[in-house]
């Protein structure tokens, strides 16, 4: 379901799904804890052994039996790709991303989503759920949300 209220042109309220606009802020703020099975799945998709995956992509200073913590790369998840000057981020392992990443839901009430909206689009949401900002940027953002994939 789209995030735009077609009647008012505003952002729909909490009960309506929000289209993720791939800002990557959540991937910068959180490093996912993954199971051994997820690590094996990602390693397989990357064509490397679990041992090599652990050496290259796991935070060795963190320990919890049965889990790994993905390494960060100067802050963001090591698998986040964000090109300077581009509003969109990409997950380099999106098809095999961890369950915690699959479970993340974009929401206009999440500070991470609001931060991405502000940082990459120059927009904000007011208390009534309406987009605030330059009209041209609002149009561009709404067109982006309506565009496929």
What pTM, to 2 d.p., does this model score? 0.76
What pLDDT sits at residue 149? 58
Does residue 77 contact residue 31 with C-beta atoms inside 8 Å? Answer: yes
In sequence order, what are the residues at sequence separation of 6 or more whose Cβ sits closer than 8 angstroms to the Cβ of residue 9? 142
DSSP 8-state secondary structure symbol assigned to residue 73: S
What pLDDT sits at residue 8? 45
Q: Judge whether residue 75 has pLDDT over 50.
A: yes
User: What are the boundaries of each domain within the chain?
Assistant: 1-21+106-149, 30-105
What pLDDT sits at residue 54? 95
The tens digit of pLDDT for each residue in 80-93 reads 998 777 778 889 99
Does residue 53 contact residue 42 with C-beta atoms inside 8 Å? Answer: yes
- Give the confidence band of 32 by pLDDT, cuts at 50, 70, 90: very high
Candidates 46, 42, 25, 136; CA nearest to 89 is 25
For the segment 52-66, the average pLDDT, to the nearest whole number, is: 93
């Amino acid at each position: 379901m789209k995030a735009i209220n077609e009647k008012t042109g505003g952002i729909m309220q909490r009960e309506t799904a929000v289209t993720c606009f791939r800002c990557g802020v959540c991937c910068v703020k959180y490093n996912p804890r993954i199971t051994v099975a997820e690590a094996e799945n990602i390693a397989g998709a990357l064509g490397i052994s679990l041992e090599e995956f652990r050496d290259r992509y796991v935070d060795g200073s963190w320990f919890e039996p049965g889990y790994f913590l993905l390494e960060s790369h100067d802050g963001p998840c090591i698998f986040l790709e964000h090109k300077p000057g581009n509003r969109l981020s990409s997950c380099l392992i999106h098809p095999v991303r961890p369950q915690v990443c699959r479970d993340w839901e974009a929401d206009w009430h999440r500070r991470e989503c609001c931060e991405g909206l502000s940082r990459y689009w120059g927009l904000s949401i007011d208390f009534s759920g309406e987009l605030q900002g330059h009209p041209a940027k609002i149009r561009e953002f709404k067109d982006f949300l309506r565009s496929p994939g």
